[in-house]
Structure 1
Amino acid sequence: MSEIPHRVVVLALDGVIPFELGIPGRIFGAARGPGGEPLYEVLTCTMDGGPVRTAADFAIVVDHDATVLAGAGTVVIPPFAGPYSEERLATALTGVRPGTRIMSICTGSFVLGAAGLLDGRPATTHWAEAGHFQKLFPKVDLDPDVLFVDDGDVLTSAGAAAGVDLCLHVVRRDHGSEVANRAARRCVVPPWRDGGQAQYIERPVPEPHDTGTAPVRAWALERLDRPLSLADLAAQAGMSVRTLTRRFREEVGMSPGRWLTLQRIERARHLLEATDLPVDQIARMAGFGTAVSLRQHLHATLGVAPIAYRRTFQPAGEI
């Protein structure tokens, strides 16, 4: 008997933005098991089951009201046109049972903030609304530079297409990189984007000959198995260390060292999932040098040791 797909319920509020509304159905709908079976069931609802206006020039009609929220394994709140008042939003999630995974895309984070779900927790939202968000919800540890934040049972993403990144991240977290990568290919989107939304904030246009840090990032990705210092990256980029660090933060939203560590972790995750190579060999191939170093970095980032991570995706594999 096949396993029942995980139910995802998308709540469309009045003024919902159509593009982001369609992301969960597209990404989760593309996630398939080894036999082609769907891994998620995606339902869309409104508060009363009636039509809602969108932020475009049309309305949408759904088949469900908010009672389906009670049976959801995951609830997704896409963005909508303001106002983002707490009075308007505080009751939107009253039908969600405790322990349900809740995700917001873009300004859908205002719903989570109004419900108190983000108090004392890390979160993000669209960079253009970050200031207003912080005024409304000062208890939230807001990071306006990242594409998404995974805080376990509550996840938030930045604007628009960052919802794709978040949904693919959840598929990857639930079922591993291979399933997520196949879903990305079906949707013709990149399975992983470097950096955060800091790279999309309005800035002066660079000179035409300026290629930024993209070439040195591509160069580093081909050499993850080797020791790479900040000085090495700067020399390859033809920049000073200070200039490279500044440009990395502008374009990628993080320091060169942090970016490099995340790429090494992603390489190690893929090797743990897709191969039976010994952990110490994977550590060397990903540039961590030793199994101890890999274990420390993986636990700091994902909260799990390499062997436990491998068991999640290779229960019958050789450890």
Structure 2
Amino acid sequence: MPQSPETPLRLGIVGIGKIARDQHLPSIAASPDFTLVAAASRHATVDGCANFPTIEAMLADGPTIDAVSICTPPHGRDRMVRAALAAGKHVMIEKPPGATVAEIAPLRHHAEAAGLTLFASWHSREAAGVDAARAWLADRTIRRAAITWREDIRVWHPGQDWILEAGGFGVFDPGINALSIATAILPLDLCVDGGTIAVPENRASPIAARIAMRLPGGAPVSLDLDFLQTGQQSWNIEVETDAGTLVLTEGGKRLFVDGAEQATGPDAGEYPRLYRRFATLIRGGRSDVDLRPLQLVADAFLVSRQERVAPFDF
């Protein structure tokens, strides 16, 4: 049932790691739509709310909540989503929504059957330049696109060994942010042709990748991912069209057309916009579960050649 916009939604958060502390908790604290009343984490607590070791304990013994935000690593999220939906809670999932497409896809139907909202969030789609880029590309013919997403794992994921384990996505964890933008702004769906995935000898997930993709009309789209970039980080998408070249930089924050920066409106912040969207979905009785970025990552693993590279340690 749609919720009243005047009443803040009572929220429980699951997983109190770096992304929760850096982004989710400040955004929730500043949100007029949510009040944080509970948290679940094996190793951490949040001041000012009830704390529990697991989502099951939070749902069984915690205060009354309306919604759950899941911020754990992707493996096992589907079980948490099922538990929250079974308890009658709306759910937002940090990206990527799960470790596999098959485990997440059916959950939308469970949410809809229960009259609940499921939101598979993609925070990079909320960057300031993304909406304007989508609008500019909507009626143009794309000739080619190049995605370059290079960042320093030691800066953005310090000591997080899970990200290089099986199911951790490796460099595709940030790379899926680029794909979430690409699938939002390109007027046609992408498919993967192949590529090369570089995996350290002592790890299970890739540290770099070069992937060839294409649009249905044949326009090539390249994806260049690297987790070992030092100095200035590169989060760029360039799209050449029949009417000029569009470039998104800084992870979608700034937009240029033929070298001239375009107005994008105020930058409200990605995570505050995510929580506003979650509240809007709940109050409208709707879900948003777009799995295209996750499907592209799965396809890249399926058809790319793997090569072993030097060991990596933090």
TM-score exceeds 0.5: no
Which has a greater percent of strand?
2
Which has a greater percent of helix?
1
Larger Rg: 1
The alignment's TM-score, normalised by the length of structure 1, stands at: 0.32
The alignment's TM-score, normalised by the length of structure 2, stands at: 0.33
